[in-house]
């Protein structure tokens, strides 16, 4: 019997990319390929890229070089958002053999049958993203603890800083029936938590058909999906990944508040606390609506964790604009921030705007908001010192410890009991350690 070819994967970017990498890996396994760790040296390397920031582009080049150090003769495939946006640029990277765009990545096995190293530029298969009108279900499954389940792809929004519509195409969704099937498969594999992912999951319900240039009315809404999952899938935990504030309805908030399976944790992008900037970004809300959403969540679930995305250094962001955002965030009852430094992306309206903010000033503002984020996160954690909350136990990076997240997304660390991993149990929350995790004791032991 011939030795199976080996394949290794590396994922850059978001939870959605991780779900899609796992789906691609299963395609290889079903054809008899043997997945190996990246550093073990594989016959084929598949790099799934992001292109939200310029740093992600540079990281792709670094990963290609690393792969070839592990196995100089490896066949290197690059796919993902960066591959759709700049396929020719990637094909010029030394060592890249194949570049697959958004419409081609799930057909990868059709392209790797002839595994011969490129003699010069890599081959490119990346069609027009406007013609990408299918939805390919995906979910991640690695350590059996948590799975990222893709329910939606693409985006119809036209935010001036964003390349994702160019990289992923129009908004389209899975069917509720197919999502339920995949969620049950994940549960049957032993995962204890499913995170619903997509580009714009609040826009769930768009089909893939377009009839005479018009897309039919949605057959379902996001609220219908989460209600069906809650009622029909017997997994202990669901989480909603990032959801736009204008799509986070009071009905969704109230449903999560009453659900035993959907966790009290929301990640709601803000991007700026300044209405002038929100208009220039073409966001579909203003700060008052955002504040109202946070208030609604906290009224229904005072213990809920709320995270938000913020961009600093967007064109025309004056010092006064930034300070307005900072002050708004100070008063807002959110638990942590994901802070992004604006970087110019080709073919976006923002890249042509005047009022460029110097790079050093962008970095300074980033650091200021990261400091605010850490203060908010610690203040949120400290509210729960001494409480008992349920935790899904996972591996920890430090030997002798295990970690996990509470229902409301507090990260805890406690002495290792490997048999607890992938189980949910009560812990008593203590102080915060030097890594920023809450120290905890297993409640059944602390009360013994």
- Amino acid 268: pLDDT: 98
Does 264-383 carry CATH code 2.60.120.200? no
- Amino acid 443: pLDDT: 79
276 pLDDT higher than 50: yes
Is residue 333 within 8 Å of residue 298, measured between CB atoms? yes
Q: Between vectors from CA 350 to CA 344 and to CA 354, what angle results, nearest 5°?
A: 95
User: What is the C-alpha to C-alpha distance for residues 340 and 242, in angstroms, rounded to an integer?
Assistant: 15
Report the CATH fold assignment for 6-127. Answer: Rossmann fold (3.40.50)
At 294, list the tokens. Answer: 């946070």
- Amino acid 419: pLDDT: 86
Domain ranges of the chain: 6-127, 134-257, 264-383, 388-446
Q: Judge whether 134-257 and 264-383 match in fold.
A: yes
Per residue in 12-47, pLDDT (tens digit) is 888 899 999 999 999 999 999 999 999 999 999 999
Per residue in 392-405, pLDDT (tens digit) is 998 877 888 899 99
- Amino acid 56: pLDDT: 66
DSSP for 66-115, please give it: HHHHH-TT-EEEEEEHHHHH-HHHHHTSTTEEEEE-TTTGGGHHHHSSS-
Q: Please give the model's pTM, rounded to 2 decimal places.
A: 0.92
The per-residue pLDDT of the chain, averaged, comes to: 91
CATH code at 134-257: 3.30.750.210
Name the residue with higher pLDDT: 112 or 108: 108
Per residue in 220-270, pLDDT (tens digit) is 999 999 999 999 999 999 999 999 999 999 999 999 999 999 999 999 999
Helix (H) or strand (E) holding 173: strand 172-173
Per residue in 46-83, pLDDT (tens digit) is 999 987 666 766 788 899 999 999 999 999 999 999 88
CATH code at 388-446: 2.40.50
- Amino acid 392: pLDDT: 95
- Amino acid 217: pLDDT: 78
User: What is the C-alpha to C-alpha distance for residues 290 and 329, in angstroms, rounded to an integer?
Assistant: 11
């Amino acid at each position: 019997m011939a030795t199976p070819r080996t394949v290794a994967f590396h994922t850059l970017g978001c939870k959605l990319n991780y779900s899609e990498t796992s789906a691609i890996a299963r395609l290889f396994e079903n054809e008899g390929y043997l997945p190996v760790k990246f550093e073990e040296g594989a016959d084929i390397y598949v790099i799934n890229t992001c292109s939200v920031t310029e740093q992600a582009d540079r990281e792709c080049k670094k990963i290609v070089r690393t792969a070839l150090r592990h196995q100089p003769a490896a066949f290197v495939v690059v796919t993902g958002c960066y591959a759709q946006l700049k396929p020719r640029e990637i094909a010029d990277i030394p060592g890249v053999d194949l570049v697959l765009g958004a419409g081609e990545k799930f057909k990868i096995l059709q392209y790797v049958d002839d595994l011969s190293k490129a003699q010069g530029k890599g081959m490119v298969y990346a069609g027009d993203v406007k013609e990408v009108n299918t939805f390919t279900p995906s979910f991640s499954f690695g350590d059996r603890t948590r799975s990222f389940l893709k329910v939606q792809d693409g985006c119809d929004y036209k935010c001036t800083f964003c390349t994702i519509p160019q990289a992923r195409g129009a908004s389209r969704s899975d069917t509720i029936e197919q999502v339920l099937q995949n969620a049950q498969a994940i549960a049957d594999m032993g995962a204890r938590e499913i995170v619903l992912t997509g580009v714009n999951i609040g826009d769930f319900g768009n089909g893939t058909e377009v009839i005479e240039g018009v897309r039919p009315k949605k057959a379902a809404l996001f609220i219908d999906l989460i209600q069906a999952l809650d009622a029909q899938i017997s997994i202990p935990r669901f989480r909603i990944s990032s959801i736009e504030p204008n799509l986070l309805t009071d009905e969704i908030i109230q449903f999560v508040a009453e659900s035993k399976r959907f966790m009290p944790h929301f990640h709601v992008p803000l991007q700026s606390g300044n209405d002038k900037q929100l208009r220039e970004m073409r966001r579909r809300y203003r700060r008052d609506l955002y504040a109202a959403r946070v208030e609604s969540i906290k009224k229904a679930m005072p213990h809920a964790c709320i995270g938000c995305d913020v961009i600093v250094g967007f064109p025309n962001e004056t010092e006064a604009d930034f300070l307005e955002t900072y002050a708004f965030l100070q008063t807002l009852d959110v638990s942590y921030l994901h802070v992004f430094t604006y970087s110019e992306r080709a073919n976006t309206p923002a890249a042509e705007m005047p009022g460029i903010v110097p790079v050093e000033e962008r970095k300074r503002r980033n650091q200021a908001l990261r400091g605010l984020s850490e203060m908010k996160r610690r203040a949120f954690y400290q509210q729960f010192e001494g409480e008992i909350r349920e935790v899904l136990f996972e591996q920890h990076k430090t030997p002798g410890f295990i970690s996990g997240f509470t229902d409301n997304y507090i990260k805890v660390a406690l002495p290792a009991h490997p048999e607890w991993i992938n189980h949910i149990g009560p812990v008593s929350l203590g102080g915060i350690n030097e890594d920023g995790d809450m120290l905890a004791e297993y409640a059944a032991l602390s009360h013994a």
